Amino acid sequence: MPIGGFIINIDPENSIEALESLSDISHLEVHGSDDKGNIVAVIDTETSKEMQRIVDDLNKFEFVLTVGLTYINVEDEGESESNTTGLDLFHSIRDTATEIPA
């Protein structure tokens, strides 16, 4: 069961819309935000595939600029998963993250 801490960077002008949209996402909990567009969130899912899907969905939101992984812990997911480790999940999330605009 993976649990990950994330910083979601958004356009500050859309903070109300962003926080409302994020509050509707299952397995995602917002723990704080600031006026610069930084949102601290935790994603706690049953499988690493589910966490990856949520991160992929976050990157599709128009108001999301970046999704940064700050912490990951993956406990045994059982025989049904493909032996994904925390490091594998980290690389997967990192490799699909939105690039920071220049």
Q: Is 4 helix (H, G, I), strand (E, B) or coil?
A: strand
- The count of C-alpha atoms lying within 13 angstroms of the C-alpha of 46, restricted to the half-sphere facing its C-beta, is 5
Q: What pLDDT, on the 0 to 100 scale, is given for residue 102?
A: 46
Beta strands in the chain (DSSP E): 2-10, 28-33, 38-44, 64-74
Confidence at 4, pLDDT banded by 50, 70, 90 = very high
Q: Which residue ranges form the domains of the chain, and what is each CATH number?
A: 2-96 (3.30.70.920)
pLDDT recorded at residue 96: 59
Q: Whole-prediction pTM value?
A: 0.75
For residue 28, the cross-strand partners are 43
pLDDT of 7: 97
pLDDT tens per residue, range 24-78: 999 999 999 999 999 999 999 999 999 999 999 999 999 999 999 999 998 766 5
